[in-house]
Amino acid sequence: MSTAVAELPTAPSESRVNYLNASYGIKSWLLTTDHKRIALLYLVSITFMFVVGGVAATLMRIQLIEPTGAIVEPEVYNKLFSIHGIVMVFFFLVPSIPAVMGNFLIPMMIGARDVAFPKLNLLSWYLYITGSLCMLYAIAAGGVDTGWTFYPPYSSTYSHTHVIAAVTGVFIAGFSSILTGLNFIVTIHKMRAPGMTWFRMPLFLWSMYATSVIFILGTPVIAITLFLMALERLFHVGIFDPAVGGDPLLFQHLFWFYSHPAVYIMILPGMGVISELIPCFARKKIFGYKIVAYSSMAIAVLSFLVWGHHMFVTGQSIYTGLIFSVLSFAVAIPSAIKVFNWTATLYKGSISYNAPMLYALGFIGLFTMGGLTGLFLASLATDVHLNGTYFIVAHFHYIMVGGAVMAYLGGIHYWWPKITGRLYPDAWARFAALIIFVGFNLTFFPQFMLGYLGMPRRYAVYPPEFQVLNVMSSAGATILGVGYVIPLIYLIWSIKYGPIAGPNPWGATGLEWQTPSPPPTENFEEMPVVTEEPYNYPGTEVPVRG
């Protein structure tokens, strides 16, 4: 199986002009309007931010080996989890799949030359970089200790750390999201190649479309919310701080009005990636194409109606709680439907187990667990116990890391030959996928148990009876960390030394595979015409039933 990749036909030579060697020099990158080059700019910058967030996480897990705190004072630990959360959510997960793979693939998948507004696309990256620099400044200047949730009145009045710099960073990076979403929506509406109807689009595009809708509708709300919080901190205007007549719960409503949909900004693109990987490596049409497409849109809409489930224990009225609880259960259904459809796609397939497929299967399993444990938190009676404990931490890491990061890595491995024109060693890649799966579960499964036992999150020190499970979690984090370093090494290695990939190493359908790797700057030598449904793999046909 591992050799199947190497045996595929290779491109004749690298002398062909492609987007990577079309021009040289730092200026040709920093002033590029090529969506593929911008995708690479994002890839490098979000990888750097991932490392920053990862270092913070590593220090946290070391700290928690000892109940009394192994390495730092609580003040420092508080900064570590705040930096970890802010960086990973706003500067890694939110831009990850949309800004890297969305940018690279959307024009290629619809058969276009570029996105609708290439200059705006470059501006988005500069906004992201400006936001990141503000955040890095906040870290270098001494850190921020509010948690990624920035709850007032702690953030507005009591914290003595660099809150303004951090929220400025998030505020500016938010505009990057808005412009990216705008660009994608217009591109998908207006620039599809002849014959590329809505229902001939790969499902990745449906998920990017749904994500872009949330980007545009949700991100302005977080921007306003953080702006008001900064005003409160600077001028004590009395919006959120009750000491000057404000309402601290108003902030939470506004914050979660964005930040719950933001969860779907992070997971919907992952679902889109998985919907590409499964058909490719099962050589099979996706099961229930339209249902999977519509469920992305259903999730995008419902995601705006469930924010109150973050606030069940804040003193909401009983009836508010009931309404948000029932809506939260409702949003679970389309996700469950997707899982069933992916699994059913494997049925009677011709399945190979290259590294991207291992990530995809890992995603299904971990996302299933993350989704099901969400039911504990949508349920009012159990949420009262589990809210604010490590159960929540475990739950959202199963979605964000077990889900979104697994999908991101799966996608990187899948499209890497297209992006770089090179293959990486598949055996190493499969080994890393396995290490990550094992390390991930060992890190986060014990946290479900800690949460049920009652250990609160964001604790720098903790009662001794929680130690065994914390040590297990830290041990798992070590394995997980190793799992993340391995791909970094062989992927960089492959850029120079990897075998030439050829246009379509996986034998996949989709327009992006019908052009050379790496693609030419204009993507396609002639305008492609689409005449068939997506995932049209050769095989025995079975007519639609029911």
Q: What string of DSSP letters covers 125-182?
A: HHHHHHHHHHHHHHHHTT---STTTT-TTIIIII--S-HHHHHHHHHHHHHHHHHHHH
250 binds other proteins (CB under 8 A): no
Site for other proteins in 387-406 (CB under 8 A): 387-389
CB 205 within 8 A of CB 106: yes
In the structure encoding, which two tokens stand for residue 198, read together?
Answer: 């809505």
243 binds other proteins (CB under 8 A): yes
First-to-final CA distance of the chain: 36
Q: Taking the CB of residue 299, how many other CB atoms lie within 10 A of it?
A: 26
Q: Which residue lies nearer to other proteins by CB, 279 or 481? A: 279
88 binds other proteins (CB under 8 A): no
Tell me the C-alpha distance between 34 and 30, whole Å: 11
Site for other proteins in 121-160 (CB under 8 A): 145-147, 149, 151, 153-154, 157-159
Residue of the chain from 46, 172, 405, 460 that contacts other proteins (CB under 8 A): 460
26 binds other proteins (CB under 8 A): no
Shortest gap between Cβ of 109 and other proteins (angstroms)?
Answer: 21
The amino acid at residue 408 is: Y
Using only the alpha carbons of the chain, give its radius of gyration: 23
Tell me the C-alpha distance between 39 and 77, whole Å: 34
Shortest gap between Cβ of 415 and other proteins (angstroms)?
Answer: 21
462 binds other proteins (CB under 8 A): yes
Site for other proteins in 475-514 (CB under 8 A): none
* Residue 456 half-sphere exposure toward CB, CA atoms < 13 A: 8
* Residues contacting other proteins: total by CB under 8 A: 102
In the structure encoding, which two tokens stand for residue 353, read together?
Answer: 């187990």
465 binds other proteins (CB under 8 A): yes
350 binds other proteins (CB under 8 A): yes
Tell me the C-alpha distance between 219 and 178, whole Å: 7
Residue of the chain from 231, 291, 434, 495 that contacts other proteins (CB under 8 A): 291
Residue of the chain from 368, 443, 515, 517 that contacts other proteins (CB under 8 A): 368
Residue of the chain from 285, 310, 397, 418 that contacts other proteins (CB under 8 A): 285
Q: Which residue lies nearer to other proteins by CB, 298 or 432? A: 298
197 binds other proteins (CB under 8 A): no
Q: Which residue lies nearer to other proteins by CB, 128 or 444? A: 444
Shortest gap between Cβ of 147 and other proteins (angstroms)?
Answer: 5
378 binds other proteins (CB under 8 A): yes
Shortest gap between Cβ of 252 and other proteins (angstroms)?
Answer: 9
CB 478 within 8 A of CB 486: no
In the structure encoding, which two tokens stand for residue 370, read together?
Answer: 């993350």
CB 212 within 8 A of CB 246: no
